[in-house]
Amino acid sequence: MQIFLNCFILILNPKLSPPVFQLIAGVILSLIISLISYRLKYLTLNGSIAQFFLGSLLFGLGGLKWSVPIIVFFFLSSIISKIRRKYNPGVDSFFEKTGTRDIYQVLANGGIAGLLIIVYQFYSSELLYAVYVSSLAVFCSDTWATEIGTMRKAKTVSVINFKTVDQGVSGGISLAGMFGSLLGAFIIPLSSLSWISKNIFTFMLVVTVAGIIGSLVDSILGALVQAQFKCIICGKITEKKFHCNQNSRLTNGIIWINNDAVNLLAGISGGLFYILLNYLLKI
Ligand SMILES: [Zn+2]
């Protein structure tokens, strides 16, 4: 296994190989990851097809520079999610979507990356790469905030009015969740440091802050505009349109703004915060 991994790392390195090999290796690697993700039920069928195309773009065109951060995100997040489900499986019933990710989740998390790598082919600036890493830092920060925040039963309050809410509800924050948010926002820029030419300390600081702010934007949008439902059978507040085999009642937010739309907006905000902080700090 290690030998195969080393081969891929060699082939994906643009300094050592012509781009055509990188492209072929990227498509093959993307195919393998998509098949494994489907087999292990990390992704639905349409989710794994979308991931195959996005992965081919990122691995094939971006090489290791663009592949490592997103692989770190998906790989570590899958492990943390499995651990959380082992310790606190009950919280899953609140989430609109559980472990197996579909095409909309893949596009909400990977669409920005796909767009940026295409633009990068024509305009290869480090700013575009930093925006990509920042949006990824938001997704990782948000994912780990949820997973680590709900790993054990803990006091959770609304980000809007600080009233106690159920664990796993959109816009709920907890101490463990904030720790997860910080850790998730930190690990992504860390995984991209080999390809950064500017001061790595300011880069780490700015991307981590952008990731945490984006994750906070996710929580705030989640509380204010994301559709929230109440189950008419068991009375639970949920992101699910159906609960206990019945249509749930809309209690908050806008019906067509779901978790994927909120994630996408939060990811874009992370990139914009990077640009803003970058401009303000003149790094
Ligand atoms: Zn119910």
Per-residue confidence (pLDDT) for residue 10, from 0 to 100: 61
Per-residue confidence (pLDDT) for residue 42, from 0 to 100: 81
- Residue 49 belongs to a domain: yes
Same domain, 50 and 176: no
For residue range 92-140, list pLDDT tens digits in order. 666 655 567 889 989 988 999 999 999 999 988 999 999 999 999 999 9
Same domain, 22 and 92: no
Q: How much distance in Å is there from the Cα of 165 to the middle of ligand 1?
A: 17
- Residue 78 belongs to a domain: no
- Residue 136 belongs to a domain: yes
Same domain, 57 and 138: no
Per-residue confidence (pLDDT) for residue 16, from 0 to 100: 56
Q: How much distance in Å is there from the Cα of 220 to the middle of ligand 1?
A: 25
Q: Report the number of distinct structural domains present in the chain.
A: 2
- Residue 218 belongs to a domain: yes
Same domain, 271 and 239: yes
- Residue 109 belongs to a domain: no
Per-residue confidence (pLDDT) for residue 99, from 0 to 100: 61
**Residues facing residue 229 across a β-bridge:** 238, 250
Of the candidates 269, 273, 261, the residue with the CA atom closest to the CA atom of residue 170? 261
- Residue 226 belongs to a domain: yes
Q: How much distance in Å is there from the Cα of 172 to the middle of ligand 1?
A: 19
Q: How much distance in Å is there from the Cα of 163 to the middle of ligand 1?
A: 22
Q: How much distance in Å is there from the Cα of 173 to the middle of ligand 1?
A: 23
Q: State the Cα–Cα distance between residues 149 and 156, nearest whole angstrom.
A: 9
Same domain, 42 and 93: no
Per-residue confidence (pLDDT) for residue 97, from 0 to 100: 52
- Residue 173 belongs to a domain: yes
Q: How much distance in Å is there from the Cα of 153 to the middle of ligand 1?
A: 20
Per-residue confidence (pLDDT) for residue 264, from 0 to 100: 94
- Residue 168 belongs to a domain: yes
Same domain, 265 and 181: yes
Same domain, 61 and 92: no
Per-residue confidence (pLDDT) for residue 66, from 0 to 100: 94
Same domain, 55 and 160: no
Q: How much distance in Å is there from the Cα of 239 to the middle of ligand 1?
A: 11
Same domain, 41 and 150: no
Q: How much distance in Å is there from the Cα of 283 to the middle of ligand 1?
A: 51
Per-residue confidence (pLDDT) for residue 178, from 0 to 100: 92
Q: How much distance in Å is there from the Cα of 245 to the middle of ligand 1?
A: 8
Q: How much distance in Å is there from the Cα of 190 to the middle of ligand 1?
A: 41
Same domain, 61 and 146: no
Tens of pLDDT along the chain (283 residues)?
566 666 666 656 656 555 888 899 999 999 999 999 899 888 899 999 999 999 999 999 999 999 999 989 988 988 998 888 888 777 666 665 556 788 998 998 899 999 999 999 998 899 999 999 999 999 999 999 988 988 887 788 888 888 888 777 777 888 889 999 999 999 999 999 999 988 899 999 999 999 999 999 998 998 889 988 888 888 887 878 888 888 889 988 888 898 899 999 999 999 999 999 988 887 6
Per-residue confidence (pLDDT) for residue 28, from 0 to 100: 94
Same domain, 264 and 172: yes
Same domain, 160 and 55: no
Range of the domain at 161: 88-98+124-283
